[in-house]
Amino acid sequence: MMGLIDFKFGNLKKGERDLITDVKGVKVGHFTIDDGDIHTGVTAILPHEGNIFKEKVVASSYVINGFGKSVGLIQVEELGTIETPIILTNTLSVGTALSGLTKYMLLNNEDIGKTTGTVNSIVCECNDGYLNDIRAMSVKEEHVFYAIENAKEDFDEGNVGAGCGMSCFGHKGGIGSSSRVIQLDNKMYTIGSIVLSNFGAYGDLILNGKKFCENNLDKETDKGSIIIILATDIPLNERQLKRICRRAQVGLSRCGSYLGNGSGDIVIGFSTSNKISHYEERDIVNMKILNENKIDLIFRAVADITEESVISSMIHAKTLQGRDGHVRKSLNIREGK
Query: Which pLDDT belongs to residue 220?
Result: 67
pTM: 0.96
H or E element at residue 84: none
Beta-carbon contacts of 61 under 8 Å, excluding residues fewer than 6 positions away, are 73, 76, 77, 242, 245, 266, 267, 268, 269
Q: Is the pLDDT of residue 336 over 60?
A: no
Distance of CA 240 to the CA centre of its chain: 19
Q: Is the pLDDT of residue 335 over 90?
A: no
Q: Count of CB atoms within 10 A of residue 149's CB?
A: 11
Give residue-wise pLDDT tens across range 257-280.
999 898 899 999 999 999 999 999
Query: What is the signed CA dihedral for 126, 139, 165, 264, rounded to 10 degrees?
Result: 0
Give residue-wise pLDDT tens across range 184-232.
999 999 999 999 999 999 889 999 888 887 766 556 677 789 999 999 9
Q: Is the pLDDT of residue 56 over 50?
A: yes
Annotated catalytic residues are 225, 263, 265
Query: Which pLDDT belongs to residue 227?
Result: 98
Give residue-wise pLDDT tens across range 75-102.
999 999 999 999 999 999 999 999 999 9
C-alpha distance from residue 163 to each of 55, 169, 229, 308 (Å):
29, 14, 14, 16
Query: Which pLDDT belongs to residue 222?
Result: 75
Give residue-wise pLDDT tens across range 134-148.
999 999 999 999 999
Q: Pairing relation of β-strands 167-168 and 171-172?
A: antiparallel
Contact 178, 221 (CB under 8 A): no
The amino acid occupying position 111 is D
Q: Is the pLDDT of residue 52 over 80?
A: yes
Q: Is the pLDDT of residue 6 over 90?
A: no
Contact 261, 65 (CB under 8 A): yes
Gyration radius from the chain CA atoms: 19
Three-state secondary-structure class, residue 33 = strand
Q: Rounded distance, CA 34 to CA 47, Å?
A: 27
Beta-carbon contacts of 185 under 8 Å, excluding residues fewer than 6 positions away, are none
Query: Which pLDDT belongs to residue 208?
Result: 83
Query: Which pLDDT belongs to residue 216?
Result: 63
C-alpha distance from residue 234 to each of 43, 84, 123, 151, 190 (Å):
24, 20, 24, 23, 7
Q: Rounded distance, CA 201 to CA 196, Å?
A: 16
Q: Among 149, 169, 158, 175, which residue's Cα sits nearest to residue 89?
A: 175
